[in-house]
Amino acid sequence: MRPQPNRQLTVPDPLTVLGIETSCDETAAGVVRRHGDGRVEVMSSIVLSQVKDHAPFGGVVPEIAARAHVEAIDAVIRAAMTEADLGFGDLDGVAATAGPGLVGGVMVGLSAGKAIALARGLPLIAVNHLEGHALSARLAADVAYPYLLLLISGGHCQLLDVEGVGRCTRLGSTIDDAAGEAFDKIAKALGLGYPGGPALEKLAVGGDASRFPLPRMLLGRAGCDFSFSGLKTAAARLAETVTDETDRRDLAAAVQGAIARQLAERSERAMRIYAEGHGGDRRFVVAGGVAANSEVRRVLEGVAAAHGFSFTAPPLDYCTDNAAMIALAGAERLALGLVDGLDAVARPRWPLDEEAALNRPTHVPGRKGAKA
Domain boundary assignment for the chain:
15-138+319-359, 145-313
Cα dist from 304 to 171, 262, 269, 285, 313, whole Å:
17, 14, 11, 9, 12
Same-fold call for 15-138+319-359 versus 145-313:
yes
Contact 165, 95 (CB under 8 A): no
Residue pLDDT, tens place only, 318-340: 999 999 999 999 999 999 999 99
* Mean pLDDT, residues 74-91: 98
Q: What's the CA gap between 98 and 179, in Å, rounded?
A: 23
Q: What does the pLDDT read at residue 280? A: 81
* Mean pLDDT, residues 197-220: 91
Question: Binning pLDDT at 50, 70 and 90, where does residue 362 land?
Answer: low
Q: What are the start-end ranges of the E strands in 22-92? A: 26-34, 40-49
Contact 291, 151 (CB under 8 A): no
Which amino acid, 116?
I
| Domain covering 145-313 in this structure, CATH number | 3.30.420.40
Q: What does the pLDDT read at residue 161? A: 96
The proportion of the chain whose per-residue pLDDT surpasses 70, expressed as a percent, equals 94
Q: What is the pTM of this model?
A: 0.90
> 15-138+319-359, which class in CATH?
alpha beta
Q: What's the CA gap between 109 and 19, in Å, rounded?
A: 9
CA nearest to 15, candidates 309, 267, 333? 333
* Mean pLDDT, residues 247-260: 96
Around Cβ 35, how many Cβ atoms within 10 Å? 12
Q: What's the CA gap between 122 and 92, in Å, rounded?
A: 6
